[in-house]
Amino acid sequence: MNSKHRSTCPISSALDIIGDKWSLLIIRDMMFAGKKTYTEFANSSEKISTDILSNRLVKLVDLGLILKGKMAGNKKTNIYTLTQKGKELLPIILEIAEWSDNNLNDHLKDSAKPFINKFKTNKEAFVKNMYSLFDQREN
């Protein structure tokens, strides 16, 4: 996909790619829930519509953030995996989660607290462990 950017500002350019309502949530689900299939993404709690999900998956593939392949033993089912470019969004997503915990804390689920507290305790170790988990999922 030949993406056109609104400006040469790095923040504006990044938002042109991942600034919509759904892209980071799809990547979040891939990172933290290990989701790989269209059906798994469609079953997320945010209830993304099927047409938007299809559009975002195509966009994320075209932008090189995820890869589309076929499930081993089931050539009908597409699976999606993170590329290195997609994996490099991990620290950004974690910082957004921490900002949300610090500033929007009043409406967050209690079930999110252990995750964010683990990250806040030792960011470097958490990120390292997540990258190891990504590698394990690929093998």
Answer whether residue 30 shows pLDDT above 90: yes
The tokens for 3 are: 């993406």
Helices 123-138, 90-103: inter-axial angle, 10-degree rounding: 130
Nearest C-alpha neighbor of 120 from the set 89, 90, 99, 134: 99
**Most confidently predicted of 6-10, 25-29, 93-97:** 25-29
pLDDT cut 70: percent of the chain above it: 97
Tens digit of pLDDT for each residue in 39-77?
999 999 899 999 999 999 999 999 999 999 998 888 889
pLDDT cut 90: percent of the chain above it: 55
pLDDT at 1: 44
